[in-house]
């Protein structure tokens, strides 16, 4: 109670302005928003390329205010990094955590690491993202650097770990020198499907399996 000049006054009620400040955001709602942003960002990047994509277009496609998008991602590079993390980097990291059974062959280990990532490679958007990197990476070094850090480097580390798990021989010496050869079928199938498939696209997963069979023999 407040008293002024002998008169009793009731303390004013707190203003509703600012209610909820400091309240932690709902994790489920944040996750849903980021999932929506992911799908919209993927759509805009694939439709317009990295150069043509704009944050305002992603926000509009997602049904969000531009300011809301910037609360989650500071710029277009950060948004593209998020797309790569969710599409490729996180699944690859999970596969690397799996402990291979004792005595597993190199062929089986490489199959376990990489072939699942190629399941529905075209349908998931992973192939289109790779084509975008090939097309625009030279003009946007930051784009290529993000892809190398999140995708290429972890894949090369996983290949090195797999090679170190088996006895050395002449074939492995070549692979140790040029480990990126393991990824060559993915690049070739992606380019083939874009330029020369004439509507009959190769299944990237099957191409990779066929390559591993040629190099190491069937599982």
The yes-or-no verdict on residue 145 having pLDDT over 90 is: yes
Highest mean pLDDT among 18-32, 43-57, 99-113: 43-57
For 28-74, give the CATH class. Answer: mainly alpha
At residue 22, the pLDDT reads: 57
Q: Burial, 178: exposed, middle or buried (Cβ in 10 Å; 0-12, 13-18, 19+)?
A: exposed
Overall pTM > 0.85: no
What average pLDDT is seen over the chain?
87
Helix axis angle for 106-114 and 90-97, nearest 10°, is: 150
At residue 20, the pLDDT reads: 45
* CA nearest to 83, candidates 39, 27, 53: 39
């Amino acid at each position: 109670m407040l008293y002024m000049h002998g008169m009793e006054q009731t303390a004013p009620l707190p203003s509703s302005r600012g209610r909820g400040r400091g309240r932690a955001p709902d994790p489920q709602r944040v996750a849903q928003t980021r999932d929506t942003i992911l799908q919209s960002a993927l759509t805009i990047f694939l439709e317009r390329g990295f150069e043509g994509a704009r944050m305002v277009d992603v926000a509009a496609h997602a049904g969000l205010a531009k300011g809301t998008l910037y609360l989650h991602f500071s710029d277009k590079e950060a948004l593209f990094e998020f797309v790569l993390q969710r599409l490729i980097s996180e699944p690859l990291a999970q596969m690397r955590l799996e402990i291979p059974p004792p005595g597993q062959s190199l062929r089986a280990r490489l199959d376990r690491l990489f072939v699942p990532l190629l399941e529905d490679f075209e349908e998931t958007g992973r192939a289109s993202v790779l084509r975008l990197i090939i097309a625009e990476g030279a003009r946007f070094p930051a784009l290529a650097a993000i892809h190398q850090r999140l995708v290429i480097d972890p894949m090369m580390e996983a290949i090195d770990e797999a090679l170190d798990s088996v006895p050395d021989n002449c074939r492995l010496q070549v692979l140790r020198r040029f480990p990126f050869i393991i990824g060559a079928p993915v690049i070739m199938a992606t380019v083939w499907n874009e330029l020369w498939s004439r509507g009959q696209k190769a299944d990237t997963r099957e191409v990779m399996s066929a390559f591993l069979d040629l190099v190491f023999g069937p599982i």
